[in-house]
Amino acid sequence: MKLTEIQITNLYQFTRQHFVYHYDVQTELVDHLANDIEGIWEENPKISFEEARDKSFKKFGIFGFMDVIEAKQKQMNKRYWKILLRFVKEWFTLPKLITTLLIFLSVFCIVQIPFAEIAIVSVLLILAVFEMVAAYRIRKKHKAKEKTDEKIFLLEAMIGTTKNSFIGFTFINLFNFMNLTKFDFSGLNMYWLLLIAAIVTLLIIFFYVANYVLPQKAEELLQETYPEYKLVKNV
């Protein structure tokens, strides 16, 4: 016996009630539950849909769908990083390479001025604030979609949220390090200054790609990742 469209819809609602918020993860679980329910019916045709559904759900264990959600998040996190690095690499090819070199030279000049460490921390603080504002706007947009029951994919939720918070993480650690060690850039040789300039340049590129490039490319990336994305969004 096959599940009806109403029962499939019920399974989507069931996964949502159990804290599965993203459509691609919901679909994977619904497929699994549907196949399992049909298998249960083959063994016991008299059991109701709700009983078969609950019986299938119990097979996921005490934590329910959490293990599946965690596994999908890890899988999509790897894809997110691959996409991010793909766009970052473009900054080391012409014509963007010229911009990258200009950023590097600007940072290198800054780290040689008196109290350069304060300037670098200030720049990182400004970027961290922009990073948090951008992440807040994306989350607010996704919350609005959830209220209207609009389907949100896992990668869609990751894009633009700067989930790894490159700048904020670096700022906090550098600020703490400077407070503890009274770090002074003026005591460093040329090689260390070059390395610092390179790291800050990379952070700026990562910041720009994560907060501006990926959100602008979101539709294209989601269609590339999910063959069903365009169809689902047009429903």
Q: Which of 162, 156, 163 is nearest to 232 (CA)?
A: 156
Question: What was the pLDDT predicted at 42?
Answer: 94
Question: What was the pLDDT predicted at 225?
Answer: 92
What does the alpha-carbon distance between residue 23 and residue 1 come to, in Å, rounded to a whole number?
25
Question: What was the pLDDT predicted at 182?
Answer: 62
What does the alpha-carbon distance between residue 154 and residue 146 come to, in Å, rounded to a whole number?
13
pLDDT averages per 10-residue partition of the chain, 235 residues: 92 94 94 96 93 95 92 93 95 95 94 82 81 78 74 86 63 65 71 88 88 90 89 69
Question: What was the pLDDT predicted at 174?
Answer: 65
Cβ atoms within 10 Å, residue 110: 17
pTM assigned to the model: 0.83
What does the alpha-carbon distance between residue 184 and residue 116 come to, in Å, rounded to a whole number?
8
Burial 162-191 (b: 16+ CB within 10 A, else e): beebbbbebbeebeeebeeeeeebeebeee
Q: Which of 23, 21, 28, 52 is nearest to 39 (CA)?
A: 52
